């Protein structure tokens, strides 16, 4: 009856949509978690503090850290699977009549003349404490624990890669915000001048002061400049929101930034490529992850091999029962058992081939990743060199356009130039400055890609617990070391372990 009621209850379950109150409570709780212990921005935001805030407060960064913690917890929990099983159990049984049994003569087959026997009470309480250990289960758990240990290291490499991408995104977004602040005032004033000149030209066209083709060409040039200025404004409008999202600042809160020295260091171009390759092969997170995955595949081969061996198990238990018909109500049991799945031999060759194929696949992925890392290194170095040259060129062009715009403003005041020429040159100057900052942002992104390919990141222990001020100072020191163009010393290889 109880089973029927349970099945009926399961069959009556219906999908239950989220209620608006539940959604609101969940979003508010998530928002509180995101803003928990986040230090407010005191003054202008520097590049070092922006990177430090991203390291400390970014949601994706926290997610990767939690994934690493979960992997570590899985490893620690898996270690207990290697221990023997110690199981304590208790039970109660009841029947509404006596357990009565007859007997017969084993030789003649005739029923026994004795009365039927009652050999068990109607109810009894039993307890036992059992110890068991299986050699096969221990071997499986041992290799599973080694795989979980490598998965912890895989999660660590993924966290490192996420940190590299985060720093790259912060540096790119930061320089876009610098460009937005630098160009904001001149962009708005030039747009106002262009709109005013367009209004005057349309009025002159309506009054037919000049030939009709002349004001139309004038308006066409003004509209083209306005369109270009609006495109620039739209491109820069999202930079502040992106930076606020990366650093976990309020998305609607305005903030100021400090423009760093806008110089692109070329020291890394003087570092021998061979040294860079050695560091990339040793420290690149993608390559290290592929190596750990290869080890996991090798451990899986050993687990598959264990299935071909017989299972040997040992058990020992302390048991007790209050059955009144038992003369010995407490007793100890011990035993050993060996088992072997004979039909499992049929699947063994297929399992071994599958395991070997997994090892070969992991090895091929590692080889492909190594080639990809070396390719990325050379491409990143070339991109960094090209971005450095492009910045130098864009910086020179922006300087020339700015000086031309100043001369045209002075000539317009002396009535030697028209307003259209001033608007056009100011637009060209704004575009040149924008391209300068874009080139600078591209150079910073190229530097971050080179740094990520080399596997270099700020080595900051305990960043989650470190005060934001100290973390910003550590990031600043790391950036200075990077700008110096010096590779850190590689960890020394253990030749003894390498031979093994």
Closest CA to 442 of 374, 325, 450: 450
**DSSP alpha helix (H) spans, 312-467:** 344-413, 419-454
473: which 2 tokens? 């100072």
Which pLDDT score, from 0 to 100, does residue 419 have? 64
Report yes or no: 296 and 273 within 8 Å, Cβ to Cβ.
no
Q: Strand order in 85-94's β-sheet?
A: 85-94, 123-134, 311-321, 330-339
Cβ atoms within 10 Å of 193's Cβ, excluding its own: 18
A 10 A CB-CB count for 275 gives: 12
pLDDT in tens, the chain (500 residues): 555 555 555 556 788 888 888 888 888 887 777 777 778 887 888 888 888 888 888 877 777 777 888 888 888 888 888 888 888 999 998 988 888 887 877 777 777 767 777 888 889 999 999 989 888 888 888 888 899 999 999 998 888 888 888 888 898 888 888 888 877 777 777 777 777 777 777 776 676 666 767 777 777 777 877 787 777 777 777 888 888 888 888 887 888 888 877 667 777 888 888 888 988 988 889 999 999 998 898 888 888 888 778 888 999 999 999 988 888 889 999 999 888 887 777 777 887 888 888 888 888 888 898 899 999 999 999 988 898 888 888 888 888 888 887 777 777 666 656 666 777 777 777 778 878 888 888 888 888 888 888 888 777 766 667 888 888 888 888 888 787 777 888 776 544 444 43
SS3 260: coil
Helix (H) or strand (E) holding 139: helix 135-207
User: Smallest Cα–Cα separation from 45: which of 240, 200, 211?
Assistant: 240
Residue 442 burial class via C-beta count within 10 angstroms: exposed 0-12, middle 13-18, buried 19 and up: buried
Class of residue 44 by CB neighbours under 10 A (exposed 0-12, middle 13-18, buried 19+): exposed
Give the number of C-alpha atoms closer than 13 A to the C-alpha of residue 195, restricted to the C-beta side: 8
DSSP 269: G
C-alpha 376/C-alpha 450 separation (Å) is 8
Q: Is 458 helix (H, G, I), strand (E, B) or coil?
A: coil
pTM: predicted TM-score of the whole model, two decimal places: 0.76
Tokens of 247: 């650093």
DSSP 301-338: HHHHHHTTSPEEEEEEEEEEE--TT-S--EEEEEEEEE
Asked if residue 412 lies in contact with residue 422, where contact means CB atoms within 8 angstroms, the answer is yes
Mapped onto helix, strand or coil, the DSSP state of residue 125 is: strand
């Amino acid at each position: 009856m109880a089973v029927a009621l349970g099945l009926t209850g399961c069959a009556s379950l219906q999908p239950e949509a989220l209620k608006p109150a539940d959604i609101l409570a969940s979003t508010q709780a998530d928002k509180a978690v995101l803003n928990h212990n986040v230090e407010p921005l005191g003054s202008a935001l520097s590049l070092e503090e922006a990177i430090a805030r991203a390291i400390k407060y970014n949601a994706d960064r926290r997610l990767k850290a939690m994934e690493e913690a979960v992997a570590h917890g899985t490893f620690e929990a898996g270690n207990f699977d290697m221990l023997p099983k110690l199981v304590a159990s208790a039970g109660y049984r009841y029947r509404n009549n006596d357990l009565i049994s007859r007997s017969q003569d084993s030789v003649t087959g005739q029923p026994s003349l004795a009365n039927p026997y009652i050999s068990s009470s109607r109810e009894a309480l039993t307890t036992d404490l059992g110890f068991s250990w299986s050699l096969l289960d221990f071997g499986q758990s041992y290799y599973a624990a080694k795989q979980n240990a490598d998965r912890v290291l895989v999660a660590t490499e993924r966290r490192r890669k996420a940190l590299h991408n985060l720093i790259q995104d912060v540096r790119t977004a930061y320089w876009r915000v610098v460009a937005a602040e630098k160009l904001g005032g001149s962009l708005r004033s030039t747009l106002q001048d262009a709109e005013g000149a367009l209004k005057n030209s349309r009025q002159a066209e309506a009054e037919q002061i000049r030939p009709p083709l002349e004001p139309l060409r004038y308006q066409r040039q003004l509209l083209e400049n306005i369109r270009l200025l609006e495109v620039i404004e739209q491109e820069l409008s999202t930079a502040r929101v992106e930076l606020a999202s990366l650093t976990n600042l309020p998305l609607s809160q305005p903030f100021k930034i400090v423009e760093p020295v806008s110089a692109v260091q070329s020291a890394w171009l003087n570092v021998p490529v061979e040294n860079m390759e050695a560091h990339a092969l040793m420290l690149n997170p993608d390559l290290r992850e592929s190596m750990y995955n290869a080890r996991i595949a090798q451990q899986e081969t050993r687990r598959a091999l264990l299935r071909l061996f017989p299972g040997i198990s040992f058990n020992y238990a302390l048991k007790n029962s209050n059955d009144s018909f038992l003369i010995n109500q407490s007793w100890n049991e011990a035993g050993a058992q060996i088992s072997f799945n004979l039909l499992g031999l049929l699947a063994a060759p297929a399992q071994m081939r599958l395991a070997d194929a997994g090892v070969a696949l992991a090895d091929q992925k590692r080889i492909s990743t190594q080639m990809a890392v070396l390719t990325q290194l050379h491409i990143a170095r070339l991109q960094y060199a090209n971005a450095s040259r492009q910045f130098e060129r864009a910086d020179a062009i922006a300087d020339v356009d700015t000086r031309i715009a100043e001369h045209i403003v002075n000539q317009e005041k002396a009535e030697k130039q028209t307003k259209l020429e001033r608007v056009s040159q100011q637009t060209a100057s704004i575009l040149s400055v924008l391209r300068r900052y874009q080139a600078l942002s591209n150079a910073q992104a190229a530097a971050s890609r080179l740094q990520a390919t080399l596997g270099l990141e700020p080595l900051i222990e305990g960043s989650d617990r470190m005060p934001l001020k100290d973390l910003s100072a550590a990031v600043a020191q790391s950036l200075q070391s990077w700008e110096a163009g010096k590779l850190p010393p590689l960890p020394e290889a253990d030749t003894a372990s390498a031979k093994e």
